[in-house]
Structure 1
Amino acid sequence: MSTERSPFGSRPVRAGVIGVGAMGENHARVYSELRDVDLVGVADRQTELAERVADEYGTTRLSMDELLERCDAVTVAVPTHAHYEVVTSCLAAGVHVLVEKPIAETIEEGRTMAKRADDAGLVLQVGHIERFNPAVRTVHELIDDLDVISLEAERLGPPTDRSALGNVVFDLMVHDVDIVGSVLEEEPAPITAMGADDGRYATATMGYGDVVATLTASRVTQKKVRKLTVTARECLLEVDYLEQSVLIHRDSYPEYLVDDGQRRYRHESVVERPRVDNGEPLRHELESFVEAVRTGSTPEVTAEDGIDALETVQRIDAIVSDEAPPRERTGEREREVEA
Structure 2
Amino acid sequence: MNTEPTRTSPRPVQVGVVGVGAMGENHARVYSELRSVDLVGVTDHDVDVARQVAAEYGTECLDIDSLLDRCDAVTVAVPTHAHYETVSRCLEAGVHVLVEKPIAETIEQGRTMAKLAQNAGVVLQVGHIERFNPAVQTVGDLIDDLDVISIEAERLGPPIDRSAPGNVVFDLMVHDVDIVASLLEDDPESISAMGTEDSRYATATMGYGDVVATVTASRVTQKKVRKLTVTARECLVEVDYLEQSVLIHRDSYPEYLIDDGQRRYRHESVVERPRVDNGEPLRHELESFVETVRSGSEPVVTAEDGIAALETVQRIDALVSGEEPPRRREREREVEI
> TM-score, structure 1 length as denominator?
0.91
- Give the C-alpha shift of residue 252 in structure 1: 4.0
Specify the alignment match of 2:195 in structure 1.
195
Report if aligned partners of 1:168, 1:202 keep a CA contact under 8 Å in 2: yes
- Relative contact order, higher structure (CA 8 A, sep 6+): 1
Q: After superposition, what is the alpha-carbon deviation per residue over 1:79-103, rounded to whole angstroms, capped at 9, x for unaligned?
A: 1111011111101111000000000
Percent identity between the two aligned chains: 81
Q: Aligned with 1:75: secondary structure?
A: strand
Counterpart in 2 of 1:245? 245
Aligned residue number for residue 270 of structure 2: 270
For 2:113, the aligned partner's letter is M
Matched residue, 1:27: 27
Q: Which residue of 1 aligns with 2:36?
A: 36
SS of the counterpart of 2:192?
strand
Q: Is the 8 A contact 1:19 1:78 kept in 2?
A: yes
Q: 1:266, 1:95 → 2: CA distance?
A: 61
**Match among 5, 9, 12 for residue 8 of structure 1:** 5
**2:3–2:13 Cα contact (<8 Å) kept:** no
1:188 partner letter: P
Matched letter for residue 251 of structure 1:
D
Alpha carbons of structure 1 residues 210 and 45: separation in structure 2 relative to 1, 3 Å: same
Query: Which residue type is aligned with residue 68 of structure 2?
Result: L
Q: Which moves more between the two structures, 98-107 or 190-199?
A: 190-199
The corresponding residue for 2:313 is 313
3-state SS of 1:242 partner: coil
Q: CA deviation at 1:186?
A: 1.2
Contact kept? 1:159, 1:221, Cα under 8 Å: no
Task: Report the TM-score, using the length of structure 2 for normalisation.
Answer: 0.92
C-alpha change, 1:263 and 1:322, in structure 2 (3 Å) is closer
Q: Which amino acid aligns with 2:143?
A: I
Match of 1:123 in 2: 123
Tell me how far 1:120 sits from its aligned partner.
1.1
Match of 1:161 in 2: 161
User: What displacement does 1:256 show?
Assistant: 8.3
Tell me the distance in 2 between the aligned counterparts of 1:212 and 1:302.
Answer: 24
SS in structure 2 of the partner of residue 268 of structure 1 = strand
Segments of structure 1 that go 5 or more residues without pairing to the other structure are 329-339
- Alignment root-mean-square deviation, CA: 2.0
Q: Deviations for 1:4-26, whole angstroms, at most 9, x for unmatched residues?
A: 62413321000000000000000
The amino acid across from 2:144 in the alignment is D
Are the counterparts in 2 of residues 155 and 173 from structure 1 also a CA contact under 8 Å?
yes
| Number of residues of Structure 1 aligned to a counterpart in Structure 2 | 325
Q: 1:270 to 1:6 in 2, by over 3 A?
A: same
User: Gaps spanning 5+ residues in structure 2: where?
Assistant: 329-337
Displacement, 1:231? 0.5
Shift of 1:206: 0.4
Q: Is the 8 A contact 1:229 1:236 kept in 2?
A: yes
